Chains A and B, each alone.
Chain A
């Protein structure tokens, strides 16, 4: 288990907010919305994988 996932998600968050700002200022509201959504989906996939790891660890640890 490594810490770089934390930095990865933080970087995705910062990039998404910058993209959101730029797109909003250039008057493309719907594309800004789509960037937000896609950033959330990417992060959600990473988090889902890690949650699966956590559940497997708990299952093996407490012999479910």
Chain B
């Protein structure tokens, strides 16, 4: 029944933001940031459960833990970048939002390069 709580929270937040925004637009943005953080904290424990299940399955399937932890890191980076770029868009700065997204993509590609390299090594070894 968490979704009902979250819906109520969202409705209350919208009411407050609509009251505050005409007078103090900068505080309205802060309110929306705080609302996003509160909603994430609501579901944080559930994400932890899912991640621990994924780790268990990977252990059973003998997947290399380095690759799995890299995947989880990429999920975290993209979540934070999404958060930041949505806030920037809400504040009317879509240029900064697209730069944040670009930075996240560059960081993810740079992090995943070692895995691409190991894949290429494997292909070279297989080829005669």
Q: Which residues of A contact B (CB under 8 A)?
A: 1, 3, 5-7, 9-10, 12-14, 16-17, 20, 36, 39-40, 43-44, 46-47, 50-51, 53-55, 57-59, 61-64
Q: Is the CB of B80 within 8 A of A10?
A: no
Task: Check if A6 sits within 8 Å of B12, measured CB to CB.
Answer: yes
B16 shortest CB reach to chain A, Å: 4
Q: How far is the CB of A3 from chain B (nearest CB, A)?
A: 6
Q: List 9 A-B contacts (CB under 8 A).
A: A3-B38, A7-B16, A9-B27, A10-B31, A51-B33, A53-B37, A54-B40, A58-B80, A62-B75
A11 to chain B, nearest CB (A): 9
Task: Please tell me if the beta carbons of A58 and B79 are within 8 angstroms of each other in the complex.
Answer: yes
B80 and A40 contacting across the interface, CB-CB below 8 Å: no
Q: How far is the CA of A16 from the CA of B24 in the complex (A)?
A: 9
**Residue in A closest to B12 when the chains form the complex, CB atoms:** A6
Docked-complex contact B37 and A50, CB < 8 angstroms: yes
Closest 6 CB pairs of A and B: A62-B76, A1-B41, A17-B23, A13-B27, A10-B16, A13-B20
Taking the closest CB of chain B, its distance from the CB of A29, in whole angstroms, is 16
